[in-house]
């Protein structure tokens, strides 16, 4: 089988297409013939050596993908040959609270990921893809979609009439926009691009803020929410944006801390968190049970993920470079 690996040392220049023997199927496992994959910012950091510099190499990157089951172990009865499934991000996190063991079972590091023609995974760690989605669309669900779902539904309990502030127009952010609107929430979205804001408005965003021309965008979001503040913030920026998120959120509101696009360090004033009883909730994707609940909602609403560009397996490096450019709107994908 063909696989893309980051070999010997980190860096996009060290991504290589190689030939490998397909792994054997053991008890309780299934073999997937992969059809499509999608990239997350985490994948870029992993290949660059910035996410976990101690990650063992070579590594097959990517945590998101979809494939058809072509072989099952004799003891498997949960799924069958022909099923189209997505492997879950944290392979051992089926339900319940996260644990150290569950959080160390993630694809694309430390475990080999989805960027290969075949994968062998436990039958318990796959989820059937919604039938109305194409392969490329289904490949976007395991991380970006589930992170947004976990933030707003599983953990955030967003309700109709709430106001949600969404940062940016990447994969998680556009899924958050779609889920928030399906829940009946009002959405304020930010971007540095007026063109992207126009596209977000066409997808249902109620208010748009260009954060390059509106420096105090946290205060602006608060005013757009009636002066009290927004109920929920999808915080993907990290160190350089968390202070503005605190300005935007209402007393008793929630900030879902998801990404670190602007860095991890911050001179954060803790007083607003304490004095206004703000909840900072870290979100590390989610479990299989949440994935299955999300897919039921996606199937019911016929929601369609937003795909920016699709590359071939042989052009995986170009796909990573496109993510690094920040020019994408929605998900960057690879099709086999």
Question: Residue 115: inside a domain, yes or no?
Answer: yes
316: domain CATH number is 3.90.180.10
pLDDT 10s digits, 14-72: 999 999 999 999 999 999 999 999 999 999 999 999 999 999 999 999 999 999 999 99
Question: Residue 148: inside a domain, yes or no?
Answer: no
Domain ranges, residue 134: 2-143+286-335
Indicate whether 55 and 83 sit together in one domain.
Answer: yes
Give the mean pLDDT of 233-262. Answer: 87
Top-confidence residue, 123 or 260: 123
Domain total for the chain?
2
Give the mean pLDDT of 90-99. Answer: 97
Indicate whether 97 and 185 sit together in one domain.
Answer: no
Question: Residue 170: inside a domain, yes or no?
Answer: yes
268: domain CATH number is 3.40.50.720
Indicate whether 235 and 324 sit together in one domain.
Answer: no
Question: Residue 293: inside a domain, yes or no?
Answer: yes
pLDDT 10s digits, 173-217: 999 999 999 999 999 999 999 999 999 999 999 999 999 999 999
pLDDT 10s digits, 263-309: 555 577 788 888 899 999 999 999 999 999 999 999 999 999 999 99
Indicate whether 133 and 228 sit together in one domain.
Answer: no
Which residue intervals of the chain are DSSP H helices? Answer: 41-48, 100-103, 135-138, 146-149, 171-182, 194-202, 217-224, 242-248, 271-275, 288-301, 316-325
Chain center to CA of 107:
13
Query: Which residues in 57-80 are b (16+ Cβ under 10 Å) and which e?
Result: eebbbbbbbbbbbebbbeebeebe
Indicate whether 268 and 183 sit together in one domain.
Answer: yes
Indicate whether 108 and 179 sit together in one domain.
Answer: no
Indicate whether 168 and 139 sit together in one domain.
Answer: no
Radius of gyration over every alpha carbon of the chain, rounded to an integer in angstroms: 20
Indicate whether 254 and 273 sit together in one domain.
Answer: yes
Indicate whether 31 and 57 sit together in one domain.
Answer: yes
pLDDT 10s digits, 247-260: 999 999 999 999 76
Question: Residue 179: inside a domain, yes or no?
Answer: yes
Tokens encoding 70:
């072509």
- Residue that finishes a domain, picked among 282, 299, 325: 282
Model-level pTM? 0.94
Indicate whether 12 and 122 sit together in one domain.
Answer: yes
Question: Residue 98: inside a domain, yes or no?
Answer: yes
Indicate whether 173 and 234 sit together in one domain.
Answer: yes
* pLDDT of 139 over the 70 cut: yes
């Amino acid at each position: 089988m063909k696989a893309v690996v980051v070999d010997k040392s980190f860096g996009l220049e060290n991504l290589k297409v190689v030939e490998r023997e397909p792994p054997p199927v053991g008890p309780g496992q299934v073999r997937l013939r992969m059809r499509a994959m999608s990239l997350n910012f985490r994948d870029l950091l992993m290949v660059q050596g910035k996410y976990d510099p101690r990650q063992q190499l070579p590594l097959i990157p990517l945590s998101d993908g979809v494939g058809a089951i072509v072989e099952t172990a004799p003891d498997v009865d949960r799924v069958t040959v022909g099923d189209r499934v997505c492997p879950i991000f944290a392979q051992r996190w089926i339900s319940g609270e996260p644990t150290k063991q569950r959080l160390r079972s993630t694809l694309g590091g430390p475990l080999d990921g989805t960027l290969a023609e075949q994968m062998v995974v436990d039958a318990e760690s796959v989820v059937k893809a919604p039938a109305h989605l194409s392969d490329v669309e289904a490949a976007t669900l395991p991380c970006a979609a589930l992170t947004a779902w976990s933030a707003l539904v599983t953990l955030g309990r967003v309700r109709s009439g709430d106001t949600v502030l969404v940062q940016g127009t990447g994969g998680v952010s556009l899924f958050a926009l779609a889920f928030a609107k399906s829940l009946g929430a009002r959405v304020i979205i930010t971007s540095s691009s007026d063109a992207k804001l126009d596209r977000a408005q066409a997808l249902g965003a109620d208010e748009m803020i260009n954060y390059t021309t509106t420096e105090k965008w946290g205060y602006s979001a608060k005013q757009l929410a009636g002066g009290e503040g927004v109920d929920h913030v999808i915080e993907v920026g990290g160190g350089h944006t968390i202070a503005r998120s605190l300005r935007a959120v209402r007393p008793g509101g929630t900030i879902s801390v998801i990404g670190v696009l602007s860095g991890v360090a911050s001179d954060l004033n803790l007083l607003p968190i304490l004095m206004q009883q703000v909840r900072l909730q870290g979100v590390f994707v989610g479990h299989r049970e949440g994935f299955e609940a999300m897919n039921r909602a996606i199937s019911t609403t016929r929601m369609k993920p937003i795909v920016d560009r699709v590359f071939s397996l042989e052009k995986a490096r170009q796909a990573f470079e496109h993510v690094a450019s920040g020019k994408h709107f929605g998900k960057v994908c690879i099709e086999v």
